[in-house]
Amino acid sequence: MSDREVDVLARTLWGEARGEGFAGMVAVGFTIKNRAARPGWWGKDIISVCQHPWQYSCWNVKDPNHQYLSGARPIPSAEYVKAREAALVVIAGRQADPTGGATHYYSTSLKTPPAWSVKAKQTVQIGRHRFFRDVP
């Protein structure tokens, strides 16, 4: 595990799930780890999965979180430490996957669920995130 890998995952967890608490960040982290374990169009490792265009929206240039993820603005240090610890839990496998092998999720705040979720297998809901595997 490289420092860059931990940092990119921590920034992604902060950008995607800081409002979901530690458990929510770990769960999102496992979607990334699960994708990296099955290389495909979405990437081949933690960094490429996190930064694949249009997958983890916090990395999209027009997303309001991007300025923090790119380093243009600092993530508040206590929040970053929490996200980094979640990243280390995921990468080091210090916890079992709470998502049941999910590779995708969406927030229940969306007015319309993503089209891909209709034919996918929902595994769990953690906070405001619904997790899925077997996404066509």
pLDDT in tens, 48-57: 999 999 999 9
Number of domains in the chain: 1
Asked if the structure places residue 119 within a domain, the reply is no
Asked if the structure places residue 136 within a domain, the reply is no
What tokens does 134 get?
Answer: 């077997």
Q: What is the pTM of this model?
A: 0.94
Check which CATH number belongs to the domain holding 91 and give it.
Answer: 1.10.10
Asked if the structure places residue 17 within a domain, the reply is yes
Task: Please tell me whether residue 35 adopts helix, strand or coil conformation.
Answer: helix
Is the confidence at residue 1, as pLDDT, over 80? no
Asked if the structure places residue 112 within a domain, the reply is no
Q: Which residue segment(s) compose the domain that 53 sits in?
A: 3-97
Q: What is the 3-state secondary structure (H, E, C) of 47-116?
A: HHHHHCCCCCHHHCCCCCCHHHHCCCCCCCHHHHHHHHHHHHHHHHCCCCCCCCCCCEEEECCCCCCCHH
Q: What is the pLDDT of residues 18-72, one digit of tens each?
A: 999 999 999 999 999 999 999 888 889 999 999 999 999 999 999 999 999 988 9
